[in-house]
């Protein structure tokens, strides 16, 4: 498995990689993971981690496209090639732009390739405002087409990506595996939730509006701060808590909150370990996702669903491909509309409880770990039994699976 990210870090794609590996090893496979030279160490039966060489003076890489990824991916390629030459593998499984490395190695090794598509690479250029160059965009589009067409299986994390794959190659074999692998680790106790409130200096009965996740611009935090100004005018007791963001992002967030007039009612908890997030969710009254761009479903949405708390989210494809009016309060992408959604969740406890219960039921049925494991099994089965072009997009496959994944 080739992962061009820090592994492990508490953010979207590394989370997805962690759960993908957990499912593969639960199915009896062994995984050799080739990844960047930094990240938290992970110990898991059936997993070996091989880190690429370090780039001098580079200790971390930000989310999304960056120039720092060029030398990192070059060294990642060398490490992956060394592993490919030293061990016999049954498949190569690559994430994001690692698919470029993966399809080449898989071709040389004459083994099938799995492309784990967490986002559209050309769309990332827009989401992260990396470049407006048409040439660069065309290069990314060409690489994406190559990775899709040269892969035996393409794993996608949301329906919009499945549609994008179909536009490139109608015959591609896709397996939709949402980033929703729930586990016992998602449960928290009232004691832990109370400790969160005390640590953050929140009153026992203060209404808490919680955001978790990264602080990238496409997440819509500017919309959230502006909406919270309206909420605060109507509910002076309400508090906004944000769990996420590196120190520089938190500093910028504080400035944004002050500029919006909500600095006094906003609490920045910073990046929190994954194990603490369930307690934060339990301590909250309303969970928000103000994302303003992109089409991928935020990973936090699935954890929000499992919490049983009311969710307020923008009525955009990034959310509506998972959420409906029965499982969330979906709003327009204006500060007034988003504020109305938050106030509705705070002021109508009966409606909020019904929406939270419906969300929790959806998580327990459609987004269970058993469902996640079954779809991972389907992807593995397709590696050894290629589907006929006329077969459905996500068929269930019996029997034989590859035992080792590189």
Q: How confident is the model at residue 11 (pLDDT cuts 50, 70, 90)?
A: confident
Q: Kindly report the CA angle at 329 between 327 and 331, in degrees rounded to 5?
A: 135
Residue 399 confidence (pLDDT): 38
State how far the Cα of 255 lies from the Cα of 249, in Å rounded to an integer. 10
Alpha-carbon gap, residue 178 to 291, rounded angstroms: 18
What band does 181 get if pLDDT is binned at 50, 70 and 90?
A: confident
Q: What is the pLDDT of residues 187-242, one digit of tens each?
A: 899 999 999 999 999 998 999 999 999 998 899 999 999 999 999 999 999 999 99
Dist CA 69 CA 367 (whole Å): 33
Q: What is the mean pLDDT of residues 93-101?
A: 97
- Model confidence, pTM: 0.85
Q: State yes or no: pLDDT of 394 exceeds 60.
A: no
Q: Residue 405: what pLDDT?
A: 45
Rounded to whole angstroms, the Cα distance separating 32 from 220 reads 37
The reported pLDDT for the residue numbered 173 is: 96
Are 342 and 241 in contact, with CB atoms under 8 Å apart? no
Mean pLDDT: which of 73-82, 269-278, 291-300 is highest? Answer: 73-82
Q: Are 320 and 330 in contact (CB under 8 A)?
A: yes
Closest by alpha carbon to 286, among 349, 196, 237? 349
Give the contacts of 1 (CB within 8 A, at least 6 positions apart). 17, 20, 21, 31, 32, 33, 34, 92, 93, 94, 95, 405, 406
The sign of the torsion formed by the CA atoms of 366, 370, 374, 375 equals: positive
Alpha-carbon distance of 108 to 99, in angstroms, equals 14
Contacts of residue 310, defined as CB under 8 A and 6 or more positions apart, other chains included, come to 285, 286, 287, 328, 329, 345, 351, 352, 353, 355, 356, 359
Distance CA 270, CA 20 (A): 26
Q: What per-residue confidence (pLDDT) applies to 85?
A: 92
Report pLDDT for 60.
86
Q: What is the DSSP letter of 265?
A: G
DSSP three-state, residue 328: coil
Computed on alpha carbons and rounded to an integer, the radius of gyration of the chain in Å comes to: 21
Q: Residue 388, class by beta-carbon neighbours within 10 Å (0-12 exposed, 13-18 middle, 19+ buried)?
A: exposed
pLDDT at 62: 84
DSSP per position, 2-54: EE-S-TT-SSHHHHHHHHHHHHHHHTT-EEEEEE-S-S-----TTEEEEEPPP
On the question of pLDDT at 36 being above 70, the answer is yes
Name the average pLDDT for the chain: 91
**Percent of residues in the chain assigned helix, strand, coil, to nearest 5:** 50, 15, 40
Mean pLDDT across 64-89: 94
What is the mean pLDDT of the segment spanning 343-357?
Answer: 98
**Strand arrangement, sheet containing 286-289:** 266-268, 239-243, 208-212, 286-289, 311-314, 329-331
């Amino acid at each position: 498995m080739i992962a061009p990210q820090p592994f492990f870090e508490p953010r979207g794609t590394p989370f997805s990689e962690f759960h993908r590996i957990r499912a593969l090893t639960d199915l009896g496979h062994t995984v050799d993971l080739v990844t960047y030279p930094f990240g938290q160490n992970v110990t898991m039966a059936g997993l070996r981690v091989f880190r690429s060489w370090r780039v001098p003076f580079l200790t971390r890489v930000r989310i999304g496209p960056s120039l720092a990824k060029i030398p990192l991916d070059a060294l990642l390629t060398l490490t992956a090639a060394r592993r490919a030459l030293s061990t016999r593998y049954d498949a190569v499984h690559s994430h994001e732009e690692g698919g470029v490395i993966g399809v080449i190695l898989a071709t040389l090794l004459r083994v099938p390739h799995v492309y784990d598509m967490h986002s559209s690479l050309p769309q990332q250029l827009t989401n992260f405002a990396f470049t407006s160059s048409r040439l660069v965009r065309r290069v990314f589009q060409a690489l994406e087409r190559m990775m899709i067409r040269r892969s035996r299986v393409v794993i996608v994390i949301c329906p919009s990506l499945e549609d994008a794959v179909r536009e490139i190659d109608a015959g591609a074999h896709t397996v939709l595996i949402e980033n929703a692998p729930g586990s016992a680790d998602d449960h928290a106790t009232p004691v832990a939730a109370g400790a969160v409130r005390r640590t953050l200096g929140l009153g026992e009965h203060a209404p808490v509006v919680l955001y978790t996740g990264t602080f990238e611009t496409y997440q819509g935090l500017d919309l959230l701060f502006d909406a919270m100004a309206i909420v605060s005018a109507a509910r002076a007791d309400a508090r906004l808590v944000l769990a996420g963001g590196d120190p520089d992002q938190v500093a910028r967030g504080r400035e944004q909150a002050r500029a919006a007039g909500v600095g006094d009612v906003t609490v920045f908890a910073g990046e929190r370990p994954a194990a603490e997030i369930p307690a934060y969710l339990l301590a909250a009254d309303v969970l928000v996702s103000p994302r303003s761009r992109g089409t991928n479903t935020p990973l936090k949405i699935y954890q929000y669903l499992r919490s049983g708390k009311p969710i307020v989210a923008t009525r955009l494809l990034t959310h509506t491909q998972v959420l409906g009016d029965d499982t969330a309060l979906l709003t327009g992408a204006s500060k007034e509309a988003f504020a109305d959604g938050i106030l509705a969740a705070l002021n109508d406890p009966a409606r909020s409880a019904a929406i939270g219960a419906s969300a929790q039921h959806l998580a327990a049925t459609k987004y269970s770990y058993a469902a996640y494991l079954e779809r991972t099994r389907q992807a593995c089965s397709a590696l050894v039994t290629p589907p006929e072009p006329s077969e459905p997009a996500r068929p269930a496959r019996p029997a034989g699976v590859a035992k080792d994944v590189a």
